[in-house]
Amino acid sequence: MTRTRIKICGLTREGDVDAAVSAGADAIGFVLYARSPRAVSLARARVLASRLPPFVTPVLLFVHAGAEELAQARVALPQSLFQFHGDETPADCDAAGQPYIRAARMAAGFDLLDFASRFPRAQALLLDAHVDGFGGGGKAFDWSLIPPSVHRPLVLSGGLNPANVIDGVLRVRPWAVDVSSGVEEAKGIKDAGLMRRFCDAVRLADDRLRTP
Task: Answer yes or no: 94 catalytic.
Answer: no
- Is 199 assigned a catalytic role? no
Say which residues have a Cβ less than 8 Å from residue 114's Cβ, sequence separation at least 6. Answer: none
Q: 26, 128, 178, 206: which one is catalytic?
A: 128
Residue ranges of the alpha helices (H) in the chain? 14-23, 42-49, 67-76, 90-95, 112-118, 165-172, 192-210
Q: Which residues neighbour 119 within 8 Å (Cβ) at sequence distance 6 or greater?
A: 90, 93, 102, 125
Longest dimension (CA), the chain: 51
List active site positions.
9, 128
